[in-house]
Chains A and B, each alone.
Chain A
Amino acid sequence: MYQGDYGPAVEKSMEILVALGDIYQAEKMVEISSAQISGVSYKTIGDAGLEFLEEMAQTARVRVPSTLNPAGVDLDHWEELGFSREFTERQLRIVSAYQKMGITTTCTCTPYLASNLPTLGSHLAWSESSAVCYVNSVIGARSNREGGPGALSAAICGRTPLYGYHLESNRKASLVVEVETNLRGADYGALGYLVGKVVGGGVPYFQVPGKPGPNDLKSLGAALASSGAVALYHVQDVTPEYHLAMRGLEVGDVDLMTVEESDVKDAREKLSSSTRKPDLVCLGCPHASLDEVSKIASFLNGKTLKNDLWICTSILVKAAADRMGYTEIIEKAGGRIVTDTCMVVAPIEELEYQVIGVNSAKAANYVPSMCGLEVVYDDLENLLYFK
């Protein structure tokens, strides 16, 4: 592959993988079972990314099942949502280039809820920090936090350099977090936000009361991965590798952190940059599961919203929500289910909103810097107002 026997796209991709392997001192390559590719929104990669991908798409094809991160617009309903034609045309060219390479254009940050579900111990090349955190921690698969071009190169070559989180020795805990308060809803994101700041790129090991479910773990991981650079965490008695996380460690190898009720409350307050009422509420960061959509629908049933509401998810979850009647309930209340995109990568600053309400610590972290808008962080019951 490095010698160019498989064409220029494979040659360039393998050159990237070899360079990454050298930088991280990998001994060899490992075959991967899937890839998740970021670098999709025109807002983030711009004309430079568009040109690169169109050139690659002329010859490159992926060797493993690969899925795509969210784009900058809802690919089907961009016009109704108010996105410009100019932005959308370039966005659609980016998605077409990926499709030409054989990448499934599900455009979601929760590919594990949309047909790209790895198994325990499998090696992956995933970008999208929240998804990496989920599959490493909740599934026990093995991926580093790839950048977009690195993940694409791995997908094209079907392999990735063996280093970092692919190795058992790097999956041990570096910080034990004792949580001394019950957690619900947006508390999980707040916990992830405050622990991410402390642990940086380390591996936190949580002892929490109760049993957090998949939606809670999705929020926790997304927050850890955005306020820190966390790729893997363990939750005692919950995640599949927690019993390996401490094996062979000595006293002194791990730090200890205690989290009390007041710490979670402070973190929740810090995540809001405004105390005004949000004019747009964005839920589904990371993309909502069907279960989350169902809960929002039952909360909205029969009511009429004062604020605008977007629930961001994948087209797969949307299709099921349509059939279950959730979409109809949500639309009757004045909300929308938006697919393929989200509040972080869409150009929402182009629309006429000022204060965005979110129940995701990751979104609260990024919306002010990436969109220049104010943000309120809370549980959805407190963000939504009714007529």
Chain B
Amino acid sequence: MKRTLKCRRISRGKAKGQVIVTSEPISFLGGVDPATGRVIDREHELYQQNLKDKILVIPSGKGSTVGSYVIYQMAKNQTAPRGIVAMEAEPIIATGAIMAGVPMVDHPEVDILSILKNGDLMELDADSEIIKIINKQFY
């Protein structure tokens, strides 16, 4: 089953990959190790999970503006997520995604945090302002 949802473009581009989803806002500065892509914030529910090559789905970002540079460094190190979907984008992650060339959208038309599970496949097309969710369990 495929479900197509409208959303808003933040950072241009297209990506496809496995979803990693969290209901907690994330800080890249101090929260994610740019060398590996692993979440290192012990308080975060994604602690020790890896964001590399995933489509990261988050409610929003938080923390220091230096977080933007961390996303850029992850892209340089090839540890960045392939794409980012936020319920509500904020400047730190939005700016970082553009600096890093990581496609990003926000405002999906439904609350996807409650329907997505880790490992679901997603196609993100920021240029056309749509995402397609492909639930693995239907294969």
B98 touches A23 (CB 8 A): no
- Inter-chain CA distance A52–B98, complex, in Å, is 12
Cβ of B73 < 8 Å from any Cβ of A?
yes
Binding site for B on A (CB under 8 A): 12, 15-16, 19-20, 22-23, 39, 44-49, 51-52, 147-150
* Residue in contact with B65 in the complex, picked from A16, A20, A46, A148, CB distance below 8 Å: A148
Nearest CB on A from B80, distance (A):
11
A51 touches B73 (CB 8 A): yes
- Chain-A contact segment, one of B18-26, B88-96, B112-120: B88-96
- Inter-chain CA distance A23–B11, complex, in Å, is 12
- Inter-chain CA distance A15–B99, complex, in Å, is 9
Which residues of chain B come closer than 8 Å to A46, judged between CB atoms? 66, 69, 73
List B residues 35-82 near A (Cβ within 8 Å). Answer: 65-66, 68-70, 72-73, 76
Output the nearest chain A residue to B73 by Cβ-Cβ distance: A48
21 A-B contacts, Cβ less than 8 Å apart?
A: A15-B12, A15-B98, A16-B94, A16-B95, A16-B98, A19-B10, A20-B95, A23-B94, A44-B66, A45-B69, A49-B69, A51-B73, A51-B76, A52-B69, A52-B72, A52-B73, A147-B92, A148-B65, A148-B68, A149-B69, A150-B95
Which residues of chain A come closer than 8 Å to B99, judged between CB atoms? 12, 16, 52, 149
Nearest CB on A from B28, distance (A):
10
Cβ of B83 < 8 Å from any Cβ of A?
no
Output the nearest chain B residue to A20 by Cβ-Cβ distance: B91
B72 touches A48 (CB 8 A): yes
A49 touches B98 (CB 8 A): no
User: A147 with B68: in contact, given A15-B98, A16-B98, A23-B91 (CB under 8 Å)?
Assistant: yes
- Inter-chain CA distance A49–B65, complex, in Å, is 11
A147 touches B94 (CB 8 A): no
Interface of A is mostly: helix
- Inter-chain CA distance A52–B101, complex, in Å, is 12
* Residue in contact with A48 in the complex, picked from B34, B65, B98, CB distance below 8 Å: B34
- Inter-chain CA distance A23–B94, complex, in Å, is 9
Closest 4 interchain pairs by CB?
A: A48-B73, A147-B65, A48-B69, A49-B69
* Residue in contact with A19 in the complex, picked from B69, B72, B94, CB distance below 8 Å: B94
A49 touches B95 (CB 8 A): no
* Residue in contact with A149 in the complex, picked from B12, B68, B89, CB distance below 8 Å: B68
Which residues of chain A come closer than 8 Å to B95, judged between CB atoms? 16, 19-20, 147, 149-150
Nearest CB on A from B9, distance (A):
8
B89 touches A48 (CB 8 A): no
Which residues of chain B come closer than 8 Å to A47, judged between CB atoms? 73
User: A45 with B89: in contact, given A19-B10, A147-B95 (CB under 8 Å)?
Assistant: no
Nearest CB on B from A200, distance (A):
16
Output the nearest chain B residue to A51 by Cβ-Cβ distance: B76
User: A23 with B68: in contact, given A16-B99, A149-B95 (CB under 8 Å)?
Assistant: no
Output the nearest chain A residue to B77 by Cβ-Cβ distance: A48
* Residue in contact with B66 in the complex, picked from A12, A19, A45, A150, CB distance below 8 Å: A45
Which residues of chain A come closer than 8 Å to B65, judged between CB atoms? 39, 147-149
- Inter-chain CA distance A39–B12, complex, in Å, is 24
Nearest CB on A from B26, distance (A):
17
Nearest CB on A from B34, distance (A):
6
